RNA sequence: GGUCUGGUAGCUCAGUUGGAUAGAGCAACUGCCUUCUAAGCAGUCGGUCGUGAGUUCGAAUCUCGCCCAGAUCACCA
C-alpha cells in the first residue's frame, strides 16, 4: 500500500502539480460484493482535478497497472477504483506477521480497577470492572507500555462498621471455618443482616410517631455503628482487632474470586492508609492559589470557568472528603511509579467526579494529569431491575462463575466432546469455556453502554460467543496435529501460487490485527478486539470449508503447506488476541 | 432545570478520520455430516439508523432544535 501511495503521489505531483496528498489518498478494503482487493476512493480528488470520477478512476487504474507489479487488474465503479492484488503480495504480507507484544516504549501506565468494599462479596458489576481493567492493562502492555495494575480497597468507613456490628450482635462467633462459608460471603451476610435490623427499628420508630427522616436518623443500630466508627478512628483495640479479623476473611475471599476470574494486581492501596493523604496537597493548592478558604474555614475550588461547579475539598473542621482522598492517592501513586498516564476503571455514575479530579490535578500543575483517563462503564441491570447489595438482589460473582462452569459442562457433555479426556482435562475445559463465555459476553459491548444481564439468554454457545472462537482454535489445532503426525511442515517456502479468495480474505483479516490492537488500546476499548477476533474466526471458518487440506481430492503439496501455514498463523493470532482479553483457547474441544 | 452518556432488524449488538446497496449473532424458516471437529457452513425472512432541519459530490457518522431512557449536579464514599 505504501508503494501504491508513493506511485500515486509522484503522479499527482508531476502530472497535476498537487503537493499535499495526505488527505486525498484514502485506501480501504474492497467490499466483498465487488471485484478486487484494495480500493481507492476517487471522490476527494475531484475538488482539485477537474475530471469525472469515472475518468479519474481509469487514469489512476492504468497508472497502477503500468507501474506497480503487484497490481494485476482494476475496475472502476462510480467513484471507487478497485485493484486486484497479486498473490505474491499476500504471501509477503503473511510472512511479516507475528503476534506478540510490541517493543517497549518506556511509557508507564497505571491501571486501577476492581476497587471493592470490604463489607460484601464481589458481584456482576465488579466482574465487568475487573475484566475491562484487566484487558485494558493487557492491551497497553501489548503495545509496549510498562503497566502497573493497582486496586484501591475500601476498607474503612461506616459501611464497614455496619457489617462488623451485625456480626457482634447476631454472629455468635461465626467464622468462615465454622460456617464453611467464604469469608467475603460471611461478612456480606452480616451487612444484609444489619440492613434488616435497621429497617425493623425504623419501622418501630415510625409506629411511635416519628417521621421517616427522624426514624432513619435515630435508629439505635445506626447510632451504634457511628460510635463504632469513632472508636475505629481513635484506634480502639477491640474494634481494630475485629476490623482486622473480618477484613482478613474478606481479603481471602476476594483473592479466590479474582484468581478464578484470572485477574491480578501489582499493588494494593488500602483506604485505611490513604484516607488522610490528600490534606497536605490542599496546602499546596492554597499556596498556588488554586484553592481558596471560605470564612468558615472550609476550602474550595472554583471550576465554574471550566464549565463545572464549585467543589469543596476540605471541610471546615479540617477533615477530608472523597475527592481529597483521591487527590492524595493520585499523587501518592505518582511518587510510587512516576507514571506517564493513569487509567481509572470506575462506573459511569462517577463521570463528574473524575472530570473534577482531573481538572484539579491539572490546575495543581501535574503534567501527567492530562493523560489521565476515566474508563467509564455503564451499569449492569437485571431483567427485574437494578442490583442492590443491601437487598440481596445481586448476581454474585462466585455464583455466576460457577453457573457458567456448570452450563459449559452440561453442553459439552451433551455434545459428547469429553470422550477421551481425563477428569482434569475436562474440568479445565469447562472452566475455559464457561469463564471465556462470561468474559467475552461482558467485553464485546462498548464499555459506555449499560447492559441488561439475562442469566438464561447470556449463556449462549453459538454465534458471536467465546465458544465459537475457542471452537475455531480447537479445529485448527486438530489440523495441525494431523499435519504433525504426517510429518508435514507449516513453513511455506514462498513460491508462486494462485490464492483462493477465502485464502486472501483470511490473510487480509490477519493483517488487520496490528491496527485493531492499536485502536483498542488507545481507545481503551477491548470491544474492538472482541469484534475482530470473532470476525477472524468467521473468516477462518469460510476458509476451512472452502480450502480443505486432507480431504480428497487432495490439493498439490505446495498448496497444502501454504494452507497449513495459514492455519498456524490464524491459531497464533487467535491465541494471542484472546489472551489479551483474558480468555483461554483449548487444544481440543 | 444545568451537564454528561446512550437511542441502528422482534431481541443483543457492530459500524475506523463522513464513502459503494447500513452489517453480525440470537429467534423463525430452508439446504449441507461415509470422517481435516455440524459448538460449523450456505441461504431465506427481517431497517423511514429516535425525530425535524442544516452542512456537501456523499450523513447512522458532523452542526442545531425537539422526543425518549439513564447517570450526575452531597461538607456520602
Outline where A212-321 has alpha helix (H): 212-218, 220-234, 237-261, 271-274, 279-288
Closest nucleotide C1' to the C-alpha of A563: B36
Predicted local distance difference test score (pLDDT) of residue A457: 67
Closest nucleotide C1' to the C-alpha of A528: B14
Closest nucleotide C1' to the C-alpha of A413: B39
Is the CB of A371 within 7 Å of strand B?
A: no
ipTM score assigned to the predicted complex: 0.96
**Cell numbers 498463523: residue:** A569
Distance, CA of A527 to C1' of B62, in Å: 24
Instruction: Report the range of poorest mean pLDDT among A17-31, A164-178, A436-450, A503-517.
Output: A17-31
C-alpha cell at A339: 507514571
Is the CB of A46 within 7 Å of strand B?
A: yes
Is residue A71 within 8 Å of A82, Cβ to Cβ? no
Distance, CA of A385 to C1' of B10, in Å: 22
Summarised one tens digit per residue, pLDDT across range A306-334 is 888 899 999 999 889 999 999 999 999 99
Is residue A585 within 8 Å of A575, Cβ to Cβ? yes
- Please state the length of chain A: 589
The two counts, helices (H) then strands (E), for chain A are 22, 14
Please state, in angstroms and rounded to a whole number, the distance separating the CA atoms of residues A553 and A549.
9
DSSP state of A380: E
Q: CA separation (Å) from A116 to A127, A137, A167, A198, A329?
A: 11, 18, 20, 23, 16
Predicted local distance difference test score (pLDDT) of residue A572: 98
| pLDDT at residue A258 greater than cutoff 70 | yes
Distance, CA of A557 to C1' of B64, in Å: 64
Task: State which residues between 76 and 95 of chain A bring their CB within 7 Å of strand B.
Answer: 77-80, 82
Distance, CA of A99 to C1' of B39, in Å: 26
Is the CB of A463 within 7 Å of strand B?
A: yes
Outline where A266-384 has alpha helix (H): 271-274, 279-288, 322-337, 351-363
Predicted local distance difference test score (pLDDT) of residue A49: 87
Is the CB of A479 within 7 Å of strand B?
A: yes
Q: What percent of chain A has pLDDT over 90?
A: 80
**Cell numbers 495494575: residue:** A149
Please state, in angstroms and rounded to a whole number, the distance separating the CA atoms of residues A109 and A409.
38
Coil, strand or helix at A421: coil
Question: Which residues on neighbouring strands pair with residue A300, listed in sequence order?
Answer: A292, A312
Is the CB of A128 within 7 Å of strand B?
A: no
Is the CB of A1 within 7 Å of strand B?
A: no
Predicted local distance difference test score (pLDDT) of residue A496: 66
φ, ψ for residue A122 (rounded to 5)? -70, 145
Is the CB of A348 within 7 Å of strand B?
A: yes
Amino acid at each position: 500500500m505504501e508503494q501504491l501511495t508513493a506511485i500515486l503521489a509522484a503522479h499527482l505531483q508531476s502530472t497535476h502539480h498537487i503537493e499535499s496528498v495526505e488527505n486525498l489518498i484514502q485506501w480501504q478494503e474492497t467490499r466483498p460484493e465487488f471485484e478486487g482487493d484494495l480500493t481507492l476512493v476517487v471522490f476527494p480528488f475531484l475538488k482539485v482535478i477537474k475530471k469525472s470520477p469515472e475518468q479519474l478512476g481509469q487514469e489512476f487504474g492504468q497508472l497502477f497497472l503500468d507501474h506497480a507489479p503487484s497490481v494485476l487488474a482494476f475496475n472502476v465503479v462510480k467513484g471507487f477504483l478497485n485493484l486486484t492484488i497479486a498473490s505474491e503480495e499476500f504471501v509477503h504480507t503473511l510472512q511479516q506477521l507475528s503476534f506478540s507484544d510490541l517493543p517497549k516504549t518506556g511509557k508507564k501506565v497505571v491501571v486501577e480497577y476492581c476497587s471493592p468494599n470490604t463489607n460484601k462479596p464481589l458481584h456482576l458489576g465488579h466482574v465487568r470492572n475487573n475484566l475491562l481493567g484487566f484487558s485494558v492493562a493487557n492491551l497497553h502492555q501489548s503495545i509496549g507500555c510498562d503497566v502497573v495494575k493497582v486496586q484501591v480497597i475500601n476498607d474503612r468507613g461506616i459501611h464497614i462498621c455496619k457489617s462488623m456490628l451485625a456480626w457482634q450482635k447476631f454472629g455468635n462467633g461465626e467464622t468462615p471455618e465454622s460456617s464453611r462459608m467464604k469469608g467475603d460471603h460471611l461478612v456480606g451476610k452480616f451487612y444484609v443482616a444489619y440492613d434488616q435490623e435497621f429497617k425493623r427499628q425504623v419501622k418501630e420508630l415510625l409506629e411511635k410517631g416519628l417521621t421517616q427522616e427522624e426514624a432513619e436518623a435515630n435508629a439505635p443500630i445506626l447510632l451504634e455503628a457511628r460510635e463504632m466508627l469513632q472508636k475505629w478512628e481513635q484506634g480502639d483495640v477491640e474494634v481494630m482487632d475485629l476490623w482486622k479479623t473480618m477484613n482478613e476473611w474478606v481479603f481471602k475471599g476476594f483473592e479466590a474470586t479474582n484468581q478464578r476470574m484470572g485477574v491480578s494486581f501489582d499493588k494494593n492501596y488500602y483506604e485505611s492508609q490513604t484516607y488522610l493523604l490528600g490534606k497536605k496537597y490542599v496546602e499546596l493548592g492554597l499556596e498556588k492559589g488554586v484553592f481558596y478558604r471560605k470564612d468558615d474555614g472550609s476550602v474550595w475550588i472554583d471550576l465554574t470557568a471550566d464549565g463545572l461547579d464549585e467543589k469543596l475539598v476540605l471541610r471546615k473542621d479540617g477533615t477530608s472528603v472523597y475527592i481529597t482522598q483521591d487527590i492524595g492517592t493520585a499523587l501518592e501513586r505518582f511518587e510510587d511509579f512516576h507514571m506517564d498516564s493513569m487509567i481509572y476503571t470506575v462506573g459511569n455514575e462517577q463521570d463528574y467526579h473524575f472530570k473534577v479530579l482531573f481538572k484539579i490535578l491539572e490546575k495543581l500543575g501535574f503534567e501527567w494529569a492530562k493523560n489521565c483517563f476515566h474508563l467509564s462503564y455503564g451499569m449492569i441491570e437485571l431483567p427485574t431491575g437494578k442490583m442492590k447489595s443491601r437487598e440481596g438482589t445481586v448476581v454474585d460473582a462466585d455464583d455466576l462463575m460457577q453457573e457458567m462452569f456448570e452450563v459449559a459442562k452440561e453442553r459439552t457433555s451433551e455434545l459428547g466432546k469429553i470422550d477421551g479426556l481425563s477428569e482434569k482435562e475436562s474440568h479445565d475445559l469447562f472452566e475455559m469455556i464457561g469463564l471465556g463465555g462470561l468474559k467475552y459476553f461482558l467485553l464485546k459491548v462498548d464499555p459506555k453502554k449499560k447492559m441488561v444481564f439475562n442469566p438464561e439468554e447470556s449463556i449462549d454457545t453459538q454465534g458471536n460467543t467465546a465458544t465459537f472462537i475457542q471452537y475455531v482454535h480447537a479445529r485448527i489445532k486438530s489440523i495441525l496435529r494431523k499435519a504433525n503426525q504426517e510429518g508435514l511442515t507449516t513453513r511455506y517456502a514462498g513460491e508462486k501460487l494462485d490464492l483462493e479468495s477465502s485464502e486472501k480474505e483470511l490473510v487480509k483479516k490477519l493483517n488487520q490485527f496490528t491496527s485493531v490492537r492499536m485502536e483498542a488500546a488507545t481507545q481503551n476499548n477491548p470491544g474492538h478486539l472482541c469484534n475482530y477476533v470473532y470476525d477472524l474466526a468467521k473468516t477462518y471458518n469460510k476458509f476451512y470449508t472452502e480450502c480443505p487440506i486432507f480431504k480428497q481430492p487432495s490439493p498439490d503439496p505446495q498448496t497444502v503447506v501454504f494452507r497449513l501455514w495459514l492455519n498456524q498463523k490464524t491459531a497464533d493470532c487467535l491465541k494471542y488476541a484472546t489472551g489479551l482479553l483474558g480468555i483461554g483457547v483449548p487444544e481440543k474441544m
